[in-house]
Amino acid sequence: MKRIPLTCCCILLWTSFAQAELTVVGDSPDKVTLPYFHVTGAQMSDRALPDRAMHADLSTFTDEAWILPVRSSQLSPGPITPRTLNMPGLQPFFLVGGDPQSLTWLRQRSAGLRDIGAVGLAVEVADTQSLARIRAAAPGLTILPVNGNEIAVRLQIEHYPVLIRATALEQ
């Protein structure tokens, strides 16, 4: 009977000496990934941002029906008061819904939104047909269904459609 507790004590004692040591591969990620760039023939570049805004249609990667309907209780369609913002580095984005005002706003501004690289958040979407109508109003723009309550609280807004830039909030 004494052998089992003695064996357990020995195992516990040995485990304190059996810790894995940390191995440093390189001082920067470049040293780690550089060999892979040579193998694939890819070119490393110091430029992280493209010359112009690029849109990725993220909607094609997943079935979004599971997230619908999206309801944002803090937001409703209506006019907003434009104001300045000081959020350096913020990429432009906009909030819209499936209502007629949002669809008209999107149709009128889709080219400008595309030019500045804005991404859309559909904050009020009933179903997949409503999301398809929103996206059809602004072809070529990425528009994702997202609850906008946190954005509404942080930016102190109550209405959409709205365009949010690093320097201004406007309709």
Note the pLDDT of residue 37: 47
The string of pLDDT tens digits covering residues 47-58 is 444 555 555 554
- The torsion defined by the Cα of 141, 160, 101 and 55, in degrees rounded to 10, comes to 0
The string of pLDDT tens digits covering residues 90-121 is 999 999 999 999 999 999 999 999 999 999 99
Could you tell me the maximum CA-CA distance found in the chain, to the nearest angstrom? 84
Angstrom distance (rounded) from CA 56 to CA 54: 7
- Model confidence at 67: pLDDT above 70: yes
Mean pLDDT of the chain: 80
First vs last C-alpha separation in the chain: 80
What number is the average pLDDT over the span 23-29? 54
Note the pLDDT of residue 121: 97
Nearest Cα neighbor of 161 from 89, 85, 84, 108 is 108
- Model confidence at 30: pLDDT above 70: no
Domain architecture of the chain: domains with CATH: 3-40 (no CATH), 58-170 (3.40.30)
Q: Is-contact 68 128, C-beta < 8 A?
A: yes
pTM of the shown model: 0.65
Instruction: Tell me the one-letter amino acid at 63.
Output: D
